[in-house]
């Protein structure tokens, strides 16, 4: 029988012990004596969140296909177990073998959002691994970071031995081989890191670069300190998504995970180019999976997991070329197998409403629009192609189809935003409510229309046209939220509109981490040592402690958030090459300020630079051009 790292007394004392016992359906067991590489793959948040993440399932499946590698999973212990592990000195363990992470060859940590940064330190700390990479010896695992936050890894660079930039399917095997070679040659950590940086594409070893700052606090130079280490690290990318493995037997948790369904990834990247969106830039160019591949995956995955729901995953499913055929196939298959279909990120039009009307209970479900800004002017600034007419037309169709609940998502604090734009949020919400009463005759109404408008605060992200932009202060954010609320209350249909907004403190901190440099690491380390953890969880976020720590470290928040950057500023992330040129982003930033819309990749190539990868939508466009 599998041994457990935690005894019965502890397991009966903590919340949801099933988070820590492993042994889930489709989890992979191997004989540790038969493998050469032990890889602990970590999502630094609680189990139910981490188990919902597709990226880890992809790499877990990929690594375990290698006979000489055993990849296991690790998640952040919840605060109750955290306390017990510290008190009783129980080292953090991987779920499958229940062995201490400290004894593994690699600890890979996926970085999906900035607010998990203190949880990284918790994982290292509980594992007994020195928090700073420079303090580690040959006895400890190599700590690797991956995922979207590595597109500015600098605020956490001190905690990692290396970062893998880009999609994981391409270079990990090479990285492991270099590791095995250096180990066989009796060489240590330093030798491995140097070889990895020199030989393996997509690898960034922070300790091999030196950053110098100018008098104004911005970066003066960012250069490798050893010969042969690349000045620029280019992201890794899979050009033919049908040729790489996809987890057809994903691990199925016992406890209900946030994402409790089969996830079918249909494409990577997005053609839209919304100027606030990082994913829309760093995953360029758009690459689709083949229709037949997806049909096969869907059938296999449903069979292997037993899930009662399947969901499509992509940044913008409506842009997938074979969406209609795929959805028709799924509806057929799912009807037979009594499986539900969930269709997120669909544009609301006649087709999607028809499909949704067939797969969900219209009366119970709501429609979602993400106009992101309240006025057409500001939507042009952010290059959100959605017009007022699109929204009202879609909502009108939906009301005719029987829906009466609409969710709207907006951002506050976007560049060039005025009070007029904010009032536009209230007016648009009101117009949609009014449209319901115009569209649906009284006798056909099932109940009052419900509009839920939510706003989040805009945070400029690296590798977007807004990376130069000034972010709002907390006070400005709160004023904007108050104005939104007031404006909604002034509307005729205000009783039908519910307004939600977020706390501003955490957005400010996220803004610092998003565009921070290496000097922010000290703040993260000290805040963690003072007790900051699970910052993404409102009830555990300790803003006062953070502010105090910034003060103590002499790190000024405004330098990272509210400062408008100049065109020629060297950003902390400029040494990375995500495929999109800085000159393109600057061009987009200028167009944004003029309120000029840029067509999407399929309509007209903008020469962003991603064509260098020679595939996806970039070739598609050219093919048509040649014809």
Partner 1 sequence: MRIRVKFAKYGALRFIGHLDVMRFFQKALRRAQIDVAYTGGFSPHQIMTFSAPLGLGMSSFGEYMDVEIHSHQGKEDFLNRLRAVCPEGIEILDAKALPAGTQNAMAGVAAASWEIGFSDPHKSFEKLKENLPGFLAQEEIFVTKEGKKGPRQVDIRPGIHECAIREGKLCILADAGSSGNIRPEEVTERFLSFCKEAMPDHPSAFTVLRRETWENAGTPEAPKFQPLDAMGEDF
Among 152, 170, 267, 305, the residue binding partner 1 under the rule CB under 8 A is 305
We find the least distance from the C-beta atom of residue 329 to partner 1, in angstroms, to be 19
- For residue 88, report the phi and psi dihedrals to the nearest 5 degrees: -95, 5
DSSP 3-state percent helix, strand, coil across the chain (nearest 5):
45, 15, 40
192 CB neighbour count, 10 Å cutoff: 23
Q: Which stretch binds partner 1 (CB under 8 A): 31-39, 51-59, 297-305, 535-543?
A: 297-305
By CB under 8 A, tell whether 22 contacts partner 1. yes
Chain residues 261-290 in contact with partner 1, contact rule CB under 8 A: none
We find the least distance from the C-beta atom of residue 361 to partner 1, in angstroms, to be 4
Three-state SS for 60? helix
Among 221, 232, 258, 337, the residue binding partner 1 under the rule CB under 8 A is 337
By CB under 8 A, tell whether 80 contacts partner 1. no
What is the crossing angle of helices 54-64 and 172-184, to 10°?
A: 50
By CB under 8 A, tell whether 332 contacts partner 1. no
By CB under 8 A, tell whether 24 contacts partner 1. yes
Chain residues 557-596 in contact with partner 1, contact rule CB under 8 A: none
Its sign, for the CA torsion 347, 349, 354, 360, is positive
By CB under 8 A, tell whether 254 contacts partner 1. yes
Nearer to partner 1, 337 or 583 (CB): 337
- 71-97 per-residue burial string, b: 16 or more CB within 10 A, e: under 16: bbbbbbbbbebbeebeeeebebbbbbb
Nearer to partner 1, 12 or 225 (CB): 12
By CB under 8 A, tell whether 168 contacts partner 1. no
Please answer whether residues 71 and 41 qualify as being in contact, where contact means their C-beta atoms are separated by less than 8 angstroms.
yes
Among 174, 218, 304, 473, the residue binding partner 1 under the rule CB under 8 A is 304
CA 535 from chain centre, in angstroms, equals: 16
By CB under 8 A, tell whether 2 contacts partner 1. yes
- CA distance linking residue 243 with residue 239, whole number of Å: 9
Among 223, 255, 492, 545, the residue binding partner 1 under the rule CB under 8 A is 255
Among 218, 321, 342, 360, the residue binding partner 1 under the rule CB under 8 A is 360
Three-state SS for 246? coil
We find the least distance from the C-beta atom of residue 98 to partner 1, in angstroms, to be 9
By CB under 8 A, tell whether 74 contacts partner 1. no
- For residue 272, report the phi and psi dihedrals to the nearest 5 degrees: -75, -40
Nearer to partner 1, 23 or 385 (CB): 23
Nearer to partner 1, 100 or 385 (CB): 100
We find the least distance from the C-beta atom of residue 22 to partner 1, in angstroms, to be 7
Q: Which stretch binds partner 1 (CB under 8 A): 305-313, 435-443, 485-493, 573-581?
A: 305-313
By CB under 8 A, tell whether 489 contacts partner 1. no
For 218-245, the three-class secondary structure string (H helix, E strand, C coil) is CEEEEEECCCCCCCCEECECCCCCCCCC
By CB under 8 A, tell whether 306 contacts partner 1. yes
Its sign, for the CA torsion 481, 484, 490, 495, is negative
We find the least distance from the C-beta atom of residue 73 to partner 1, in angstroms, to be 15
By CB under 8 A, tell whether 18 contacts partner 1. yes
By CB under 8 A, tell whether 340 contacts partner 1. yes
Among 227, 361, 389, 568, the residue binding partner 1 under the rule CB under 8 A is 361
For 193-212, the three-class secondary structure string (H helix, E strand, C coil) is HHHHHHHCCCEECHHHEEEE
Token look-up 């493995």 returns: 245
Across the strands, what pairs with 273?
A: none
By CB under 8 A, tell whether 4 contacts partner 1. yes
By CB under 8 A, tell whether 185 contacts partner 1. no
Among 187, 308, 479, 574, the residue binding partner 1 under the rule CB under 8 A is 308
We find the least distance from the C-beta atom of residue 83 to partner 1, in angstroms, to be 17
Among 51, 92, 302, 310, the residue binding partner 1 under the rule CB under 8 A is 302
Reference 240, options 201, 267, 273; nearest CA is 267
Q: Which stretch binds partner 1 (CB under 8 A): 17-25, 310-318, 454-462, 543-551?
A: 17-25
We find the least distance from the C-beta atom of residue 403 to partner 1, in angstroms, to be 14
Please give the helix or strand (H or E) that residue 71 lies within, else none: strand 69-75
Reference 352, options 306, 426, 403; nearest CA is 403
By CB under 8 A, tell whether 25 contacts partner 1. yes
Nearer to partner 1, 250 or 572 (CB): 250
Reference 140, options 92, 175, 186, 189; nearest CA is 189
Nearer to partner 1, 17 or 130 (CB): 17
Reading the block at residue 78, the tokens are: 């919840």
- CA distance linking residue 143 with residue 161, whole number of Å: 5
Cis ω on the peptide bond leading into residue 345 (within 30° of 0)?
A: no
For 307-342, the three-class secondary structure string (H helix, E strand, C coil) is CCEEEEECCCHHHCCCHHHHHHHHHHHHHHHCCEEE
Nearer to partner 1, 24 or 187 (CB): 24
By CB under 8 A, tell whether 338 contacts partner 1. yes
We find the least distance from the C-beta atom of residue 84 to partner 1, in angstroms, to be 13
We find the least distance from the C-beta atom of residue 570 to partner 1, in angstroms, to be 51
By CB under 8 A, tell whether 258 contacts partner 1. no
> How many chain residues interact with partner 1 (CB under 8 A)?
33
Its sign, for the CA torsion 74, 78, 81, 86, is positive
- CA distance linking residue 340 with residue 261, whole number of Å: 9
Q: Where are the alpha helices (DSSP H) in 250-404?
A: 279-282, 291-305, 323-337, 350-359, 376-381, 388-400
By CB under 8 A, tell whether 221 contacts partner 1. no
The residues binding partner 1 (CB under 8 A) are 1-2, 4, 7-9, 11-13, 17-18, 21-25, 252, 254-256, 302-308, 337-338, 340, 360-361, 364
């Amino acid at each position: 029988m599998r041994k457990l790292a935690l005894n019965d007394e502890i397991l009966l004392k903590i919340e949801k012990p099933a988070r820590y016992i492993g042994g889930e359906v489709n989890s992979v067991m191997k004989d540790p004596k038969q493998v050469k590489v032990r890889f602990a793959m970590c999502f630094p948040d609680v189990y139910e969140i981490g188990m919902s993440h597709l990226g880890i399932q992809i790499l877990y499946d990929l690594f375990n296909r290698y006979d000489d590698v055993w990849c296991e999973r690790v998640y952040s212990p919840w605060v109750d177990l955290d306390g017990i592990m510290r008190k009783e000195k129980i080292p953090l363990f991987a779920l499958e073998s229940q062995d201490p992470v400290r004894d593994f060859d690699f600890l890979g940590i996926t970085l999906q959002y900035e607010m998990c940064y203190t949880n990284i330190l918790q994982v290292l700390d509980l594992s007994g691994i020195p928090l700073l990479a420079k303090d580690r010896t040959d006895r400890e695992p190599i700590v690797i970071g991956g995922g979207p936050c590595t597109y500015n890894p600098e605020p956490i660079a001190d905690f990692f031995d290396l970062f893998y930039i880009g999609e994981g399917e391409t270079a990990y095997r090479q990285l492991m081989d270099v590791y095995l070679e250096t180990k066989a040659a009796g060489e240590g950590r330093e030798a491995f890191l140097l070889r990895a940086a020199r030989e393996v594409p997509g690898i960034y070893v922070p300790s091999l670069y030196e950053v110098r700052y100018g008098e104004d606090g911005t970066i003066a130079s960012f250069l490798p300190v050893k010969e042969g280490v690349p000045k620029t690290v280019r992201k890794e990318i899979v050009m033919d998504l049908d040729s790489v493995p996809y987890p057809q037997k994903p691990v199925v948790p016992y406890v209900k995970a946030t994402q409790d369904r089969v996830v079918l990834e249909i494409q990577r990247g997005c053609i839209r180019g919304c100027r606030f969106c990082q994913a829309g830039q760093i995953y360029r160019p758009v690459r689709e999976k083949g229709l037949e591949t997806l049909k096969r995956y869907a059938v296999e995955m449903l069979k292997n997991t037993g899930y009662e729901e399947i969901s499509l995953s992509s940044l913008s499913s409506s842009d997938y070329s074979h969406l209609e055929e795929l959805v028709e196939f799924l509806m057929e298959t799912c009807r037979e197998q009594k499986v539900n279909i969930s269709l997120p990120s669909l544009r609301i039009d006649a087709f999607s409403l028809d499909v949704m009307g067939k797969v969900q209970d219209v009366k119970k479900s709501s429609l979602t629009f993400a106009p992101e800004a309240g006025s057409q002017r500001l939507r042009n600034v952010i290059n959100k192609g959605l017009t007022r007419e699109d929204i009202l037309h879609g909502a009108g169709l939906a009301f005719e189809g029987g829906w009466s609940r609409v969710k709207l998502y907006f951002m506050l604090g976007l560049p060039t935003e005025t009070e007029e734009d904010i009032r536009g949020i209230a007016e648009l919400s009101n117009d949609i409510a009014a449209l319901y009463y115009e569209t649906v005759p009284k006798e056909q109404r099932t109940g009052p229309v419900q509009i839920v408008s939510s706003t989040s605060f805009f945070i400029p992200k690296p590798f977007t046209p807004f990376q130069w932009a000034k972010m709002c202060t907390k006070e400005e954010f709160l004023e904007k939220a108050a104005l939104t609320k007031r404006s909604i209350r002034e509307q005729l249909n205000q009783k039908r509109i519910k307004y939600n907004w977020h706390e501003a403190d955490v957005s400010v901190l996220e803004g610092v981490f998003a565009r921070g440099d290496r000097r922010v690491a000290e703040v993260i380390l000290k805040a963690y040592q003072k007790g900051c953890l699970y910052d993404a969880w409102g009830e555990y976020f300790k803003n006062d402690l953070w502010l105090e720590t910034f003060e103590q470290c002499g790190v000024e928040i405004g330098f990272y958030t509210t400062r408008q950057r100049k065109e020629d500023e060297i950003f902390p992330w400029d040494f990375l090459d995500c495929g999109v040129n800085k000159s393109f982003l600057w061009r987009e930033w200028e167009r944004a300020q003029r309120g000029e819309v840029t067509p999407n990749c399929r309509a007209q190539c903008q020469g962003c630079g991603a064509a260098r990868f020679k595939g996806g939508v970039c070739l598609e466009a050219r093919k048509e051009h040649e014809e």
